Amino acid sequence: MSYNSLQMQIKYPEIGICGLSCRLCPNYQTAAASKCRGCKSPERMAVGCPFLTCVIKKMGVEFCWDCGENESCEKWKRHREIGKERDSFKSYQKLEDDINFIQVNGIKIYDEQQKIRETLLIRMLNEFNEGRSNSYYCIAVTVMDINELRSSLEEADAKSKSLSVKEKSRTMHSLLDSIAVKKGYRLSLRK
């Protein structure tokens, strides 16, 4: 089965095969030439990572959990286990929670939540990014509760009306860091 014959079946291009949200990835949220349009984009499909090859090209499904062999798949199990301990360029801290959420609530509701998270992320990047906070905000939006993110944005707006972008960024960082300390969130990549 080739990618072209499956192209019409891909309904959620911004949700990774393994459950990661491409929308919340620093490589997706960049204007640079290295911008990634998601793991199921034509560019990434052409590269052919092991998950793409297995899930879409071989099994003909969109996600690992849709595969009939998902419970016995060592590759997906290893990926999930590694995600509990460390990250790559994107935060994997919520991967297991997100997979469980999807399995209980469905991919459509998860996708709607990711769109909300992306909207909040774009606001942070546009209004509170001094040029060095792309990854930080991507991680925050991945691990924090949506209501915490909304209230942080509202408070940052109120506190930083006449501040420079650098000062706005410091304000936003301070608010997010404060919540992270209270809730035990990690707002940096785990290496």
Compute the distance between CA of residue 28 and CA of residue 146 in angstroms, rounded to an integer. Answer: 20
Please give the pLDDT value at position 40: 86
pLDDT tens column, 106-159: 999 999 999 999 999 999 999 999 999 999 999 999 999 999 999 999 999 999
Within a domain: 188 = no
* 87 — pLDDT class (breaks 50, 70, 90): very high
Within a domain: 138 = yes
Within a domain: 74 = yes
Please give the pLDDT value at position 2: 42
Question: Among the residues of the chain, which ranges form H helices?
Answer: 3-6, 42-47, 50-51, 74-85, 95-105, 107-128, 134-143, 146-159, 165-183
Q: Which of 25, 13, 17, 12 is nearest to 118 (CA)?
A: 25
Compute the distance between CA of residue 189 and CA of residue 170 in angstroms, rounded to an integer. Answer: 19
Which structural domain, as residue segments, surrounds residue 156? 3-183
Q: Which of 17, 16, 33 is nearest to 25 (CA)?
A: 16
Please give the pLDDT value at position 8: 45
pTM of the model: 0.91
* 89 — pLDDT class (breaks 50, 70, 90): confident
The percent of residues in the chain predicted with pLDDT above 70, rounded, is 95
Residue with tokens 């009306």: 161
Within a domain: 190 = no
Is residue 183 over pLDDT 60? Answer: yes
The percent of residues in the chain predicted with pLDDT above 90, rounded, is 73
Within a domain: 26 = yes
Within a domain: 130 = yes
Compute the distance between CA of residue 67 and CA of residue 128 in angstroms, rounded to an integer. Answer: 41
Is residue 181 over pLDDT 80? Answer: yes
Is residue 102 over pLDDT 50? Answer: yes
Is residue 5 over pLDDT 70? Answer: no
Within a domain: 9 = yes
Within a domain: 189 = no
* 1 — pLDDT class (breaks 50, 70, 90): very low
Q: Structural domain tally of the chain?
A: 1
Residue 133 amino acid letter: S
